[in-house]
Amino acid sequence: MTEVSAGPEPEYERVVSGYDTFHYAKPFECEWGGVLPELNLAWESWGELSEEKDNVVLLHTGLSASSHARSHDRNPHPGWWEDFVGPGCPIDTRRFFVICTNLLGGCYGSTGPSSTNPVSDVPYATDFPIITVQDMVRAQLLLLDHLGIDKLHASVGASLGGMQSLMLAAIAPDRVDRLVSISAAACSHPQSIAMRFVQRQAVMADPDWREGRYYGESFPHRGLRVAREMGTITYRSGPEWMERFGRKRASGKPPRLDEDFQVETYLAYQGDKFCLQYDPNSYLYISKAMDLFDVTDPKAGDDERVRQGGGLTDIRCPALIVGVKSDILFPVWQQRELASLMREAGVSVIYSEIDSPYGHDTFLIELETVGEPIRSLLE
């Protein structure tokens, strides 16, 4: 097994500068009926755009990542995919122009619940409309239109980003030449929906949440901390924690009801750290968007509304699907299922399965096993 005692961790930060902002001044109609009077999308880029504008790789982020995938002069802090993007990296900026956006609904420069509603001049809070993965990629398409980019060399993402990568290729098949979906699925399954539901309940049960209208007041720290602790359990794996923490106690003192074992201390640290970086309402809305995701068949939902947009049968570009055997949040059978469904739909699929102890976070940590299949597909 890979050595995990050093405890590799993803590189996230609260991004407040160093990005560009695309402003869309027209009303943006969301898939479930809400309307944003306008929207902003934060984005960063690396490499040089070719004269033909045919070398663009669009990166899609997971739930809590910003547009800062790699360091640059305007923000030298390491990005969340620092070793994956750059000169000579799997996504080689000597060849490709790489764009990464903050999610619609996020809190790192893009319009989200913490943004000021131009109609009321106060934060949207829970007046923010329900959004979907399709809404997120439609906002990205507006940015690409603004930049004059008609087609992507590749659409690349993991976790929620993998969902976006699939959705973009489904609703705009003529604009994507190849796609990469890592640790995602064709739709959200009941187990992951249940996990995210309980996390949202933890946030909303905090008395400081105030029905989402906590801006300028005390922050629902306790609820978001518990939610992130639950999420962290799904991001990593039991085998890693057994090797990394075992049953070690945090101190030699008598047992306590709070942080007593080292693994508990680790979860508490991750929860507190996240509370300093992320907006709780963004957590609620984006996790709900993950629950609503289903690209298996756009005409056959469980709800009464006929969903708009494309499905797997609309995808026309070759795809790389990557799964991780130790993933708890998106178990590897879901990537196998996705690859199988795509092949049945006539899509050319390369499937890669990784044996790693790092669970869902493998896509942030394992450079060689994750990066090399991406390099091969892009080149």
pLDDT, tens digit, 9 for 90 and up, residues 59-83: 999 999 999 999 999 999 999 999 9
In 3D space, the residue among 361, 357, 335 whose CA is nearest the CA of residue 2 turns out to be 357
Q: What is the pLDDT of residue 252?
A: 80
Distance of CA 179 to the CA centre of its chain: 15
Second-level CATH architecture of 20-187+295-378 = 3-Layer(aba) Sandwich (3.40)
State the pLDDT confidence band at 8, using cuts at 50, 70 and 90: low
* pLDDT tens figures, 85-106: 999 999 999 999 999 999 999 9
Average pLDDT over residues 11-29: 88
Helices 280-292, 221-235: crossing angle, 10 deg rounding: 40
Q: Is the pLDDT of residue 6 over 80?
A: no
Q: What is the pLDDT of residue 340?
A: 97
Share of the chain above pLDDT 90, in %: 80
What is the rounded CA–CA span in Å between residue 4 and residue 357?
8
Mean of the per-residue pLDDT values of the chain: 92
Q: Does residue 370 sit in helix, strand or coil?
A: helix
Average pLDDT over residues 151-180: 97
Residues β-bridged to residue 350:
320
Q: Is the pLDDT of residue 302 over 70?
A: no
Q: Is 155:136 a contact under the CB 8 Å cutoff? A: no
Beta pairing, strands 39-46 & 97-101: antiparallel
Q: What is the pLDDT of residue 2?
A: 36
Tell me the longest C-alpha to C-alpha distance in the chain. 67
Give the dihedral of Cα atoms 30, 34, 37, 39; nearest 10 deg.
-40
Q: What is the pLDDT of residue 3?
A: 37
Look at 349 and 303; give whichever has higher pLDDT: 349
Look at 337 and 259; give whichever has higher pLDDT: 337
**Cβ contacts of 206 within 8 Å, gap of 6 or more:** 220, 221, 222, 223, 224
Compute CA distances 276 → 41, 203, 301, whole Å: 22, 15, 38
- Any idea where the domains of the chain sit in the sequence? 20-187+295-378
Backbone torsions φ then ψ of 145, nearest 5 degrees: -60, -45
Residues designated as active site: 159, 327, 360
In 3D space, the residue among 163, 181, 183, 169 whose CA is nearest the CA of residue 288 turns out to be 163
**Cβ contacts of 35 within 8 Å, gap of 6 or more:** 27, 28, 29, 129
> Per residue in 310-331, is it b (16+ CB within 10 Å) or e — as a string?
bbbbbbebebbbbbbebbbbbb
